Amino acid sequence: MNLAYDDRGSGEPVLFIAGRGGAGRTWHMHQVPAFQRAGFRVITFDNRGVGRSAKPVGSYDLGQMAADAVAVLDAAGVESAHVIGASMGGVIAQIMAVLHPDRVRSLVLACTACRHLGWRRELLEDWAATAQAQGMRVFANRSMRWLVGPRSLRRFWPAFGALTPLAMSAPTHSFVAQVNAILDMDDSLRELLHTVDVPTLVLVGSQDILTPQADAEEIAELIPDAELAIVQGGAHGFMVENFWEFNRLVLEFLARVTAERQTATRANS
């Protein structure tokens, strides 16, 4: 599988995983420079089906996509990283922590969930059908209200191409395959979250209507000692809309985790 990735900076490695339809550049404007300045090595990549990565025809699987993320770490020569995932990327990050625990130093899960709800399953099925029948542009116009807060939607509509399937850069077949991969998720992930044994921060926007606060609360309850933070006024795409607050919360968390990790390493040496 051909996977395109970007590797910048030095220091503790951080792997960003984008959501459904999203490529690595989702993170490049607001997160990559800020995390580099904070002294982290920042790795982003294009999930299978989008951007410069391969876009195979056929079914996709979230476990397979978690293995893709591990393959990116292998290609970058990174044994383990702080893993940050948003939306579908947050599900992939959860799977990494469950199936590949030795590759994850800490976990940040933003605007994500660990199981399906009936209404969300119906919504995703409608998204896939709309994209398949009418194309990505029609889908993007219809779905924007689920991703962006109402105030931002009114003020900054032209600027939010990055929150659609990367300005419709995902071909219909691979976007639909990603949605179907999400729909194929069962309860097995939820049942295994108690095995996650790394520092975890769960983030949610107070105005997120796609993965509401209850989803974040559930994950934080299932992962031992997980922290929960709510971004006031943030919608599903708060990494862009409220990037200053997202960056602040994550960087403070990583600074604390990194310091604790370094202290433990010195104590054991």
User: Over 50: is that where the pLDDT of 72 sits?
Assistant: yes
- Kindly state the tokens that stand for 171: 């071909």
- The band of 157, judged by pLDDT with boundaries at 50, 70 and 90, is very low
Q: Which of 87, 143, 169, 174 is catalytic?
A: 87
Domain that residue 228 falls in: 5-268
Q: Is 236 labeled as catalytic in the residue annotation?
A: yes
Q: Which of 6, 46, 68, 208 is catalytic?
A: 208
Q: Is 10 labeled as catalytic in the residue annotation?
A: no
From the list 153, 16, 14, 180, the residue with the least C-alpha distance to 86 is 16
- The band of 75, judged by pLDDT with boundaries at 50, 70 and 90, is very high
- The band of 85, judged by pLDDT with boundaries at 50, 70 and 90, is very high
How far apart CA 268 and CA 170 sit, in angstroms, is 47
Q: Quick one: pLDDT at residue 27?
A: 95
pLDDT mean over 202-229: 97
Torsion of CA 236, 115, 61, 100, to 10 degrees: 90
pLDDT mean over 190-198: 97
Count of structural domains within the chain: 1
Instruction: Give just the sign of the alpha carbon dihedral 209, 91, 201, 82.
Output: negative
- The band of 166, judged by pLDDT with boundaries at 50, 70 and 90, is very low
Q: Quick one: pLDDT at residue 162?
A: 46
Burial 137-150 (b: 16+ CB within 10 A, else e): eebbeebbebbbbe
Render pLDDT for 122-154 as a digit per residue (tens, 0 to 9).
999 998 999 889 887 777 777 777 777 655 555
CATH number of the domain bearing residue 178: 3.40.50.1820
